[in-house]
Each structure stands twice: as structure tokens, then as C-alpha cells.
Amino acid sequence: MDTTPPLPDATPAADATPTAGPIPTPAARTPRNGPRKSRRPRIPRREWLLGAGLALLAAIPSIAGAVKLEGLATGVPATPETARFVEMPTPVAIHIVAAIVYSYVGIGQFLPTVRRRNLGLHRAMGRYVLVPAGFAVALTGLWMNVAYEFPAIDGVGLLISRYVVGIGMAVALVLALVAIGRRDVPTHAAWMIRAYALALGAGTQVLTSAPPMILFGPPDELGRLLQMDAGWLINIVVAELVIARWIRPRRRPSTTSGHRTKTSRRAGTARPKAAQA
């Protein structure tokens, strides 16, 4: 009788699963993307550059406005250029303070990472600070256009341009509020960008008027109109490019997905008929 023990079968069982290493214990397993959830999103370099550019654009008119406010507060003697402000300081004082607040609060509102990181603060600042300041800028601009007697070099053309800009900024803010009331965030963002671009026209006008004045001297009435209107037009063009590049594409995925859903539904309803046939 053969007493040799049987050799083990070298063929693995059908339900055996080969393993490349030891199976980690539940304690050793870490959830996917666990550490990332605790990290706050970094602000990209392009957003830092955008914020710095907007701050610089608003700096020169803000400094000039602060100097004008100081002169009104300390009782500096009036000159032919400042007599209208000394006689009626209220609209220009409100306009300057509101423009400074609107310019610098708006920077944080428009940076995407900052907005997503502080969504509650974004809504509160927009509702209680940015929008009221924007309306103050637009309405006091119209008030000054009516109440003040501007120098002859400004002319009727520039007077009309200021009316168009003031009314356009107020209308843009109203449309932005209507859009956010409908939960239409892309449209809200687009109109807020347009209103902000018009408000920052004073900063761009420094760039469009200073070089020609240095090169060719003080402008005439037509030159003054072209220099001031160029500042607003440049901002409007840039705003529309930003909206076309970053705001409008947000609508495309929803439209495309909706189209695919309808198509798939139609295909799903058609398949049983084909199967029955």
C-alpha cells in the first residue's frame, strides 16, 4: 500500500483571486481626495494680475478724488475749475466716496476664486455695499451733469456722453438685479461686469488723455470728447470680450446636455418599438 501523501494541486481554484501584495486594512485606507478637501483653493496668478491691474486703474482717479475731497473739507479757495464743487459739494463728495468703494470692493467680487471661497460674503457685499455704491455713482454723475456748469471745452457732445454712461450704468445694475432674482447667474455677472466697466472709465480716461496732452498740449472741444469717449469705449470692448470668453460659454453645457437628454429619450422610446418589430 502506497503511503506517499498526495501532492498539492498546482492549479489555483477557479474562485481564487491573485493578489500583488498584502491587502490594506481599513485603517490604512485613506479616502480619495481627502486631504484636498481641507485645503483652500489657491488664487491663480492670472487672478492676482487681474486684481492688481484693476487696483492700478482705479488708483489715479481715486487719489485725485481724495485730494479734491480734502480741499473741500479744509476750505481751499475756489478756482475757476473748482468753483462749482465749492458752491455745491454734496453730489461730488458722494460721487467720489461711492466711486472709491465701488472700484475696490468690485475687485474682490469679480475674482472667481475669491468669490467661490467666500460666497456668503460675496452676496452680502454685493447686496449691501457694491450695488448701493454703484447706484450712487451713476445717479450722482447724472446729478452733477444737471446741476454743474462745466467748462466750455467739455461741450454738448461730452454732456450727452455723460448722460448715456450714467443711465447705462444704472440700467445695467437694474438688469443685474433682475437676473439674480431669476437665479440667472451668468446674465447677472455679465451686467455687473458692464456696470463696473463704465464706472472704471475715469481710470482709462487718464490713459487716453494724458499722453496726447503731454505730446500736443491741451485739447480742443473735439479732442476732449474723443479722449473721454475713448476711455469708456475701451472699457466696454474689454468687458464684452471678457463676457464672451468667460461668461457666455457657461450656458453651452446645459443646452447641449438638454439636447442630448431629449435625443436619448426619443431614442429610448424608439428602441422598444424596434425590438417589438
pLDDT digits (tens, 9 = 90+) for 217-248: 999 999 999 999 999 999 999 999 999 988 87
Rounded (10°) angle between helices 201-216 and 45-74:
80
pLDDT digits (tens, 9 = 90+) for 60-96: 999 999 999 998 888 888 887 788 898 999 999 999 9
Whole-prediction pTM value? 0.75
- The three grid cell numbers given for residue 271, joined into one nine-digit string: 428602441
Domain ranges (residues) in the chain: 43-249
The Cα 153–Cα 136 span in angstroms is 26
- Biggest CA–CA distance in the chain, Å, is 130
Tell me, what's the pLDDT at 277? 40
Tell me, what's the pLDDT at 242? 93
Q: Are 163 and 111 in contact (CB under 8 A)?
A: no
Tell me, what's the pLDDT at 125? 95
pLDDT by residue, tens only, the chain of 277 residues: 455 555 545 444 444 445 555 555 554 555 555 555 546 667 788 888 999 999 999 999 999 999 999 988 888 888 877 888 989 999 999 999 999 999 999 999 988 888 888 899 999 999 999 999 999 999 999 999 999 998 889 999 999 999 999 999 999 999 999 999 999 999 999 999 999 999 999 999 999 999 999 999 999 999 999 999 999 999 999 999 999 988 877 655 444 444 444 444 444 444 444 444 4
Tell me, what's the pLDDT at 89? 93
Tell me, what's the pLDDT at 113? 86
Among all chains, which residue has been given the C-alpha cell 467739455?
Answer: 154
- The three grid cell numbers given for residue 268, joined into one nine-digit string: 429610448
Measured in whole angstroms, how far is the alpha carbon of residue 59 from the centre of its chain? 18
The Cα 268–Cα 260 span in angstroms is 12
Tell me, what's the pLDDT at 36? 52
Tell me, what's the pLDDT at 271? 44
